[in-house]
Amino acid sequence: MHEKHWSDGVTRVAVLTGAGISTASGIPDYRGPDGVWTKDPDAAELFTYANYMADSAVRRRLWRTYADHPAWCAEPNDAHHALAEIDAAGVAVRILTQNIDGLHQRTTLADRKVLELHGSMRSTVCTRCGAKTPTESVLARIPAEPDPPCRNCGGVLKPAIVLFGQPLDADVLSHARTIAAASGLFLAIGSSLQVEPAASLCSIAVRAGAKLVIINRDPTPYDDEAVEVIREPIAAAVRHIRKFVTDR
């Protein structure tokens, strides 16, 4: 790594995190060699909004998937904690996560410093009346009601995540863009950077003068914009960055 070229004087760090940061917590990614969609390409169809809304069989399968999701038992790993430690050391950190597992909020990092771009699996919303409820209470109904309707209006329930074909929440995306543009260092960690508009936050940061550092096992479409691309294991790389950003 060539940290001295981009770590000196950093006071604001924005971090875009993808599925790769949570694999060490036992949560598989999507597109990697052992990814959910690599092993079962048809599983991606569950995460398409039109399919989900049109087909009860798709909804039943998705609810079964979430009932057994490893995130319910997962704990934050060293990479999650290292990012929180950078913030605790006095460098302002904001997390812009594509993940829906809620692990960043289980570190010492304040919830307000985590922006969930693609929503959260821990909450469920009614697609008709908008009522929200904890997902775990919905999952408790699955054995008797494999496609549980909303108890308020009978509408279709959906985990409060952004499915393919759904736009990101406009306010969340606007806030993320503001954070990216205000950062001095923008870290993209464990993301293929293939899903837009989240991936474009890299370019927004660079255009505003931030240094972009990408930590990912595989090449991404934004590697050419980065001052450094790091291929080593994520936890080790983030710990290394924590040392150089905070030990000054």
Closest CA to 42 of 14, 19, 61: 61
Token pair of 49 as six digits: 């909004």
Take residue 39 and report the two structure tokens written for it: 């092993």
- Bridge partners (DSSP) of residue 168 are none
From residue 199, alpha-carbon distances to 9, 75, 203, 221 in Å are 25, 25, 8, 9
Which residues are tagged catalytic?
118
In the three-class reduction of DSSP (H, G, I as helix; E, B as strand; rest coil), residue 2 is classed as coil
Q: In this structure, are residues 3 and 242 in contact, taking their beta carbons and an 8 Å threshold?
A: no
Taking the C-alpha atoms of residue 61 and residue 56, their distance in angstroms, rounded to an integer, is 9
| β partners of residue 212 | 186
With CA atoms as reference, report the closest residue to 15 among 220, 239, 183, 228: 183
Tokens 């000196």 belong to 8
* Residue 57 tokens, joined: 């069989």
Give the three-state DSSP class for 127. coil
11's tokens: 């006071």
Residue 220 phi/psi, 5° resolution? -130, 165
